[in-house]
Structures are given as structure tokens and as C-alpha cells.
Chains A and B, each alone.
Chain A
Amino acid sequence: MNYNLNILSEDTAKKKSTFAAVKSLVSYVVEEKKILFLAFFAMIISAIFSLLSPVIIGHVIDKYIQSKQFHGVLIYSGILLGMYLISFIAGYLQTKLMGTVGQNMLFSLRNAVFNKLQDLPVDFFNQNKAGDLISRINNDTDKINQFFSQSLMQFLRFILIMIGAGIFLLSINFQLGSAALSPALIIWLFTTTISKWVKRKNQINLKSTGNLSASVQESLNNFKVIIAFNRRDYFRKKFSEANQNNYLTSIKAGLANNLYMPVYGFFSNIGQLIVLTFGIYLISKNIFSIGLLISFLAYITSFYNPLRQLASLWANFQVALAGWDRISQIMDLDNNMPIIEDNSHNKSDSIIIFKNVFFTYPNGNEVLHNINFKLDRGKTYAFVGPTGGGKTTTASLIARLYDPNKGKVLLEGKDIRSFSREQRTKKIGFILQEPFLFTGNVRENILYGNPDYKNYNNEQLYEEILNSGLKSLIERFESGLDTKVQTSGEVISLGQKQLIAFMRAILRKPDLLILDEATANIDTVTELLLENILNKLPSSSTKVIIAHRLNTIENADEIYFVNSGEVTPAGSLNDAMNMLMKDKRVS
């Protein structure tokens, strides 16, 4: 399955309409109906009040100021003061509540994306760059947040004010009102025409931001090589290219985003001009009064000022939509490794059976070709063969990191795909070729994902470690269980990382344990210890050992020779050696 987001992006993005995008985005907010409703209520109050105040002022001018009645002016000032105070409270509530909704939405959105990532198979991570994914989870969701928490409330508020102002304008004088609003129609046409184009520009820009982030990420993680090969210029050059590209796409997006504002402003002013000239004409015909004209002018400002603001918000909106498209690309991906039904009541003594298994990596190399073999309980198997021969791939299929393209892998006689993730991972332990540690300490890492000892204190845990024979390994760490470790760091050596991964797997007590060159960087004396520890596992547990060092596999019950897509049983270690030698001689 193709999981490469940057290849996917072109075809999926187009299919979605703006409406569908907004709808799916809104689904992250609906959980907060109550808050949203309250915020909306507060918004309506403050919008109504800010609309009413010019009416009142117009009224005061016409009725009291022109007739020189100061008393009335004072009364109405009192009323206005009350309104202002209420809209102060409403304003606070509105900002606070809408902002909270925005933050909550960002929170659930990020959680949802991260959760999705967790749900996707290893394949997805092989095909995408870490930096780009980080950029999607952080930067793109933040673009959506910026719109939601800062702009959405204004957006709605402005639209409300505009609708209100529009109604007032039309009801005060329909002729003048419709004339004054006509430029808004042009603005609307303009907006619908260019928005798609603007969004596309933003999409390109966000993609380039993702690339920039990927380039930084890669270079920083590989900094050792950059220094040792004296290629500091490589870092600069590669970054510079990504940077320049980002600069160009940003400018294009920026220019597109900035198109709204001046155009909106221009037509707003035209609206005012229409009111002034047409209004005076109407007054001269005695259909209109000066007081009304002044409040009309105020309304036209309340109509067009928010419209002008909408211009910049609309640009934000396009950015947010572009960000959302990139995120929904991830959200739309499906795990291509579903759990299926297998109702057959096959029981098998073999823990693993490969039946006519074919496997090809997405890049097109066929690695396994019609593989058949059985692994029996309680036995130790060794997989040997030249590098690149398919040993790790075979192991990955046993652990269901991938599914075969053709054929079946059976776990305890049933299709491995019918086991839930919990069931499967509890049965199968896999020590990967490249050990990975999470930032934290040794204890956290060896108990990682192991609920059995979660609540053990250090003493109880030591007891358990003693029983499993891991004591001498723990002692190799400066501060024992509390030794600090880091994902990227040179303080812990590769051999030590392998020790931790080993202990992690042993403590999980799997039925089947795969060691994929799991001890390659550990010294041979320690390795003997590991062998003893492995022997302490219950006699029913099956072991699969992949190794280059032959002493680690000499005690295997059976040896498989894996090369060029085939897995062949070798009778003895000597047979395996001969195969290895012969293969070498042929090539």
C-alpha cells in the first residue's frame, strides 16, 4: 500500500469540497455544544448592542440635540452606559469561551492525528519523513487553531454584525440600503472566484514547510556524519535550498492571501460614496433626514468595517483549510492490516506455520518467494544467510509488522491476522535489529509496555530480575534501574541499548521470542550470559535467532538457511556453513 503522503497529496486533496472539509473539521467542535451555544449567545448580545448604539446616537441627535434638550441626552447616555457594561461582560465571555473551544479543538485534533499515527503500520513510517510528520501534527494543526481560537469568533461576530447592519440599512431606507450594499455583491463574487487558487498556494507553502522541517530533522539527527566527513556545508546547502523554496512559496501564498484586503477596502469605500451621494440626493427630495444619514453612515461603516476584517480572516481561513487538507490526508489513511475473522478450529502443535508466503516491499523488490516452514513449540531455531537475504523480513512477517502479499502465516494454527494486537504481541516477542530507547530511565525502558510489573517498586522488580537471571545485566548500568537514558544520545552505548531491549523482551515472557541480530554489538562474554538467560525461559517457549556470529546459533535445534527469497532447512550447522560457503563461491 502506498503510504507516502507527498505522493498521495495530489489526488486526494482535489476531491474534497470546501464544505466537506469544514464539515469534518466542525465535527471536532460539536462535542462542546453547550459552550459553543453560550459563546454564541454572548456574541449575539454584544453584536446587537454594538449595532444598537449608532441607532441610539442617531436618535439622540435627531430628537434631543437638534431640539436642544440636554435632559434627554443624559438619559440616553445612561442607557448606553448600561449597554456598554453588558457588552463588556458578553465580550469577555465570548472571547474566553470561543478561545476555550478553539483550544479544546486543537487538543482533540492533535490527539486524533497522533492516535491515527499510532494506528498505522510500520510501512507508513518507512515511507514518510519524521520532520514532515512533525510539521503536520504541530504546524498544520496550529494553523487551524489560529483560525479557530483567534479568528472564528471574530468571523462569526463580523458576519452577525454585517447581517444586522444590512437589515438595519434596508429597513431604514430600502432604496439607499440596497444601493449601499451592492458593492458587497462584487466582493462576494471576487472571493468565490479566487479562494480556490489562494488555498492551493497555501497548500504548496505548507508542503514546503514540511520539507524544511524534514531537512532540519534529518541533518540534526545525522550530525555526527556531517562533522566527521567535514560536510558542514552540506547541512547549510541542503537547508538553504529548502529555505529558499519555502521563501518563494511563502511569498506566493502571502501575496495571494493579501489580495483580499485592498479589494475589500476599495469596495467598502465605494459603498460609503454611494450612501453619501445618493443619500444627499434623497434628502434633497425630502425622503430622508440628516440624522438618518449620519446613522446610515455609521451603519455602512459597521457593515463594511467588519467586511474589511473578514478579508484577512478569509485568508486565515484558506490557510486553515490548506492545513486541514494535509491533516485529513493522514486521517483518511487506513491501516492495511485489519483484524480478520478465522473461525476454523484448527489446533496446531506448531506455533508458526508459513504457507506459500510471498512478500514484496513497496519499492518493488521481491524478498520472499513461496516460503513454507513450521516452527514447533519449545524449540530453538536459527536463521542464517548472507546480508540482504530476507532474514529480517521473515522475522517481521512472523511478528506481523507486514502482511504477506500472497499466502498465509498461521499462529497456533490460525491465521495470524485473526489475532487482536494484544493477543498477538503477548505471544510474540521481537528484539529488533536496531534497539530503540525512549527518553527516561532504564526501569521505564525495560518495563516499557509491560503491564505486569507496572506497580512493582524497585525492590520487587529486583526480585523479578533476579529470578529471570537478569541481575548481572542490570549491574552493568551505572545507577542500575535509575540510570538515565536518551533516545538520541551517546551516553548509552549501542551494546547497552541492546541489553535493555533484551531485558525488555525477556520480562514480557513471550511464547515465541525472535532475536534479530539482537546481540550483535554485545561482547562475547556477556553474550554467554544472555544465552543462559534464554535457557531459563520456560521449556515451552520457542526461540528464533538471527545472527552472524555462529557461536550464538550452535545450540539451535534447527537451522534455516535464508537467501534470495528462499528459506531452506539445513540439517546441521555444518550444512548451513556449506550452504553459506557455496553461495559465496557462486557469487
Chain B
Amino acid sequence: MIILLVIFAILGNGANLLIPKIISRGIDDYTSRHYVLNKIAIEFLAATFIIFVFSYLQNIIQTYTSERVARDLREQLSNKISQQSFTFIQESNPSKLLTNMTSDIDSVKMFVSQAVSSITSSIFIILGTTIILLTIDWELALTVICIIPIIAVMFFIVLKKVRLLFKKSREVIDWLNKVINESILGAAVIRVINSQQIEYQKFLAANTEAKNLGISILTLFATLIPVITLVSNLATLSILALGGHFVINGRISLGDFAAFNSYVTILIFPIIIIGFMSNVIAQATASYQRIERVLKAQDIIEAGTIVKPLKGNINLRGISLLYDGKPILKNVSINIKAGSRTAIIGPTAAGKSQLLYLLTGLIKQNSGTIEFDGQNIDDYKQDSFHKQVGFVFQDSILFNMSLRENIAFSNIVTDESLKKSLETSELNEFVELLPQKLNSIVSERGSSLSGGQKQRIMLARALALNPKILLLDDFTARVDSQTEEKILNNVNKNYPGITLISVTQKIAPVENYDQVILLMEGEVIAAGNHKKLLNNCPEYIQIYNSQRSTSHYEL
């Protein structure tokens, strides 16, 4: 493609170079009385036609190539990102990844579509013109050509400075994205608090920075471009003075002189183009470096090979977890038997959610081991592991697609397992009321649904896997007690033998669980069944008492 592009560019521009030559011959022929109109006109038309055809071909190929490059780069980026761990996404910041996939790729595309061909053809024109000039008169030609190195040095100096600025301006775009993003996701809070002005101030700060950077970049180019024009004008000037001198001496003909003049105009133009393109090049380089950083990220090596069905015995030994050097879990050891029900109870920020994240392999512990049926979690093949572990997140995460696709999110879901999961999550009634049933489209962030509905959809999504292990992260928080009880009974009935681990605040529903684990500030304070904890754990008793006053209503 690129080769074809260069060939077409060269052919089109080569033909362009012929035009002044034809004109100059016409003039010379006329002065020497050999003028034949037809011949000149035919040659001219032929050249014009060739230019037209090749420049259009060049444009077509240019479009195709640049778009293809952009598409493929995006595809590569998305493949790369999709391979990465959850931690990677958090650390590289979604706003930034979005810029990578949009604005950054655009700069690279611009480079391919505009810079590659125009620079090759510019260089070609410069070289071609130089040669033609040299053949006409080498002394005069050399005077003109000496402008090229001067311009090259200018470019070098400016480009070096501007690259840094471009990198910064990309970072400002990340920043703008972040502010816009937060103002959209937090739209409701902003309106409740009437803090539109504050958001505007934040935006203004980022936008001002963007403007200042833009102006700094601009100042550099505002200097570069007139300098180039000046230098090339000086070339025209030297032709007039020196060339005029040569014509007077009789060293060159008037036709040659005219041709020289035309060629200089042709020579200057690509130089100015390169000047403009240097902007594109600098921007593309800065962007590509950012893209490259993502592309070069380490792939997670899938080391696990075990694909056998899980029974559900889970064993955590000496688990410690740090976030930003802050201990979240401290030496946690837990034993869970297959088919048992375990509740994890504890105050806010005790590390309960993180514990569940570890069990799904979303994050990795800093020390200690996690075993499923006596095998390390890392030894399982991810694909088969995730199919057997259902996770209901605490925050509602919904996709802008149909309800059916949201629930049957994994590709192993069958009609039957979907039906069973809907029934278990007590969603049938809700779905029946929707005009389009399961085909109703859920809006982004699920804004058309109530908290409890979202929560149950999340549960159905996890159950649709027919999982061996079900992890519930504060599932009951937004569902009323009656529905909650029904749902939990349904789970027992429809998914016999499932291993259930439930992070929860409420004690009443878990009183008959096999095990209750009390987690506080990242440490296991107590583990045992409800009765046992009630006997020997003061912290548990405190929690129990905090809920007791209303417990008779929970029936």
C-alpha cells in the first residue's frame, strides 16, 4: 500500500514538474519561431490528465491506508487492553485509555493520511526540481539549493521543542476527559447540590491549560513558517539578481530564466508543506509514544491448565493485601467447605469486597495462597474457572443493551439456565410488565431501573452461569427483606449444592449459615456459626444488638 502510495505520489508530482518545462519550451519555441500549437497543447493536456488520474488514485489509497492503519491500531489496542488485568485498567486510568483510543489514534492517522504522502512527494519534488535546476545552470542552482540545509536546521530546532509541548497537551486532554466524565457520571449530585459552577471552574482550569499549551505550540510554528517563507523568498531574490546578471551576460536564455523562476516557485511550495507537516509529525510522535506504552504492557500469561469442575472447597491461608502501601487484608485464613453457606460480616471498609475480588482473581494478593479444592487458584484455566464462579457486585454494572444480553452475559448461558436464573431472582414479574420483555434495552448506567431491580439483574447474571460457587457482595442492601428471603430460598431450591459466600450487613438472614466470619480492619476477628459467635465474640454481639430492636419485623 505505502509503496503504491509513494509511486502514485511520485508519478502525479513528476508530471506536475513537466508543466513549467512545457511552458518554457512553448515560449522558447515561439521566440525562435518554431512554435507548433497542437504539439504543445497535446503534451500539456496529457500531463494534466496524468496528474489528475494519479493524484486521485493517490488520494484514494491515502484514505484507505490511513483508515486501515487507524483501524488496525485501534484493534491492537483493544486486544491488548482486553487481555489486561483489572488492576491495569484502574492504574492506567480509563480516561487516559479513552484518549489513547480516540485522539491519539487520530493523530497517527493524520500522519499517515497527510504527512507520509505529502512529505515523500515534497521530497521528491525538491529533489527533482534540484536536478532540473542543476542541469539548467549549476551555479545559479547551487545558490538556490543552499536554502535547504538552512531550513532543515530550523525544523530540527523547533520540532525538538514542540514534541514536549505536544506530549503535555495530550495529558491535558486526559484531564479534560476526566472532568467531563465526572460531571456526567455525577450529574445528579451536581444538580442536587447546585454545584454546576464548581464543575465549570474545574473545567475552566483544564481548558485554560489546554489553551495556553495550544498558544505555546502555535508561537513556535508562527516563527517557523515565516522564516521558511523568508528563506525561500531570498532564493527568488538571488535568482533575480544573479540570474538577471547571467541573462545580461548571455550565459542563459530568457526562457531558461523564466523556467528557473517557475521552478523556484515549485521548490518553495513543498518546503512550506513540510513546515506544516512538521506539526502533524510532532503530534503523531507524541501520540504514538503514548499508544506504544499500552501496546508494550506485559501480557498476563495464562499459566493455569486445570479445567475440572469445581466442588467448592475454598481455602485461604495467610492472605495479605496492600493498596498503595495501605494494608487492606492482614494475614487472613479462612476455610470453606463445598456446599456450605458462609457469611462475611464486618464494618465499612473492613476489606470484605476485596476478599471477594481475590476469590474471583480480579486482584492478586501480596502474600498467602488461595486454593480451590486443594489447587492454587492460578492453576485453574481462567476460562473454565470463571464459568463456575458467579459474582454479584455491590455496585450495579449494566451495559447499554437488552435485558436478555445483560443477564445472559456469559456465552455459556442457555435458555434454560436463563429461565431458571430469572425465576430465582424473582424477576419474572418485573420482566412481564416491560413492554418488550427481555428485549427491552437497558440504558447506560441503568438509569431507568430502580436500585433493587438492578441488584436482581446482577444476581440473575451470576446465576445464569449455573455456578458452583456464588459470591454475593452486599446483595441484600437494596432488596426488601421479603424479596430477599424468597430469593435466598429460591437459590437453595434451584441450585442445590452451591457454595455460597455472602458479604452482608444483616445478621438475621444468616443465623443458620454454616459459618459466619467477622472481618474488621482487614483481620478475621472471629469465625464460627451464629450461636458460637453470640457466645464468645463481643464485637459480634454489638452488631447483633444494633439490629435486634427490629428483628421481630423481619419475619
Contact = CB atoms under 8 A, between A and B. Distances in A.
Interface string A489-506: 111111110110100100
A503 to B, nearest CB: 13
Interface string B391-417: 101111111100000000111000000
Given A125-B187, A490-B354, A135 B218 contact: no
Interface string B303-336: 0000000000000000000011010000000000
Given A107-B207, A130-B184, A133-B184, A387 B550 contact: no
Interface string B269-290: 1000000100100000000000
Contact of A223 (B86, B200, B444): B86
B97 A216 contact: yes
B51 A269 contact: yes
Contacts of A428: 192
Interface in B430-454: 430, 435, 443-444, 447-453
A254 B261 CA distance: 35
Contacts of A130: 181, 184-185, 444
Given A149-B218, A273-B44, A490-B357, A114 B382 contact: no
Given A216-B102, A523-B505, A525-B543, A387 B63 contact: no
B130 interface: no
B23 A476 contact: no
A212 B399 CA distance: 15
A517 B477 contact: yes
Contacts of A294: 27, 258, 261
Contact of A114 (B27, B101, B183): B183
Given A283-B30, A425-B193, A577-B553, A77 B237 contact: yes
B63 A448 contact: no
B75 A524 contact: no
A126 B185 CA distance: 10
A212 B198 CA distance: 29
Nearest to A399: B192
Given A92-B222, A118-B199, A230-B383, A60 B240 contact: yes
A137 B450 contact: no
A496 B186 CA distance: 17
A383 to B, nearest CB: 12
A430 interface: yes
A46 to B, nearest CB: 9
Interface in A234-256: 234-236, 239-240, 243-244, 246-247, 250-251, 254-255
A550 interface: yes
Contacts of A84: 230, 233-234, 237
A276 B219 contact: no
Given A88-B230, A209-B102, A487 B550 contact: no
A438 B81 CA distance: 25
Contacts of B23: 272, 276, 297
B40 interface: yes
Nearest to B57: A262
B210 to A, nearest CB: 7
Contact of B193 (A216, A234, A508): A508
Contacts of B215: 99-100, 103
B554 interface: yes
Contacts of A418: none
Nearest to B398: A222
B447 A449 contact: no
A517 B222 contact: no
B30 A280 contact: yes
Interface in B208-233: 208, 210-211, 214-215, 218-219, 221-223, 225-227, 229-230, 233
Interface stretch (A10-18, A66-74, A371-379, A461-469): A66-74
A25 interface: no
Given A305-B269, A436-B186, A520-B478, A111 B203 contact: yes
Contacts of B461: 225, 229
Given A217-B94, A228-B362, A122 B188 contact: yes
Contacts of A76: 240
Contacts of A361: 448
B342 interface: no
A138 B55 CA distance: 32
A532 interface: no
A250 B211 contact: no
A228 B97 CA distance: 20
A222 B400 CA distance: 11
A554 B55 contact: no
Contacts of A220: 81, 89, 94, 97-98
B79 interface: yes
A538 interface: no
Contacts of A438: 182, 186
Contact of B400 (A218, A551, A580): A218
B101 to A, nearest CB: 5
Contacts of B295: none
A450 B195 CA distance: 8
Interface in A66-124: 66, 68-70, 73-74, 76-77, 80-81, 84-85, 87-89, 91-92, 95-96, 99-100, 102-104, 106-107, 110-111, 114-115, 117-119, 121-122, 124
Contacts of A87: 226, 229-230, 233
Contacts of A149: 214, 218
Contacts of A251: 63-64, 67
B192 A432 contact: yes
A232 B82 contact: yes
B189 A224 contact: no
Interface in B157-193: 173, 176-178, 180-193
Contact of B229 (A91, A236, A391, A449): A91
Nearest to A80: B237
A265 interface: yes
Contact of B44 (A64, A66, A276): A276
Contacts of A526: 347-348
A165 to B, nearest CB: 13
Given A216-B101, A232-B83, A577-B553, A221 B37 contact: no
B222 A95 contact: yes
A154 B94 CA distance: 37
A247 B184 contact: no
A428 B82 CA distance: 43
B194 A421 contact: yes
Contacts of B429: 587
A222 B62 contact: no
Contacts of B397: 221-222, 224-225
Contacts of B291: none
B240 A80 contact: yes
B135 interface: no
Contacts of A195: none
A523 B229 contact: no
Contact of B226 (A64, A88, A488, A504): A88
A235 B82 contact: yes
A509 interface: no
B354 A262 contact: no
A492 B55 CA distance: 58
B546 interface: yes
B236 interface: yes
A424 B505 CA distance: 35
Contacts of B89: 220, 223
Interface stretch (B146-154, B241-249, B364-372, B525-533): B241-249
Contacts of A491: 323-324, 326
Given A103-B211, A244-B71, 4 more contacts: A106-B214, A130-B184, A133-B180, A548-B479
- CB-based closest 8 A-B pairs: A387-B452, A495-B348, A449-B195, A91-B226, A254-B63, A230-B386, A425-B194, A258-B59
22 contacts: A53-B233, A91-B230, A95-B218, A107-B211, A110-B207, A111-B200, A137-B176, A212-B102, A227-B85, A228-B362, A228-B386, A233-B82, A263-B52, A266-B52, A284-B30, A294-B258, A391-B450, A436-B186, A439-B182, A487-B186, A523-B505, A525-B347
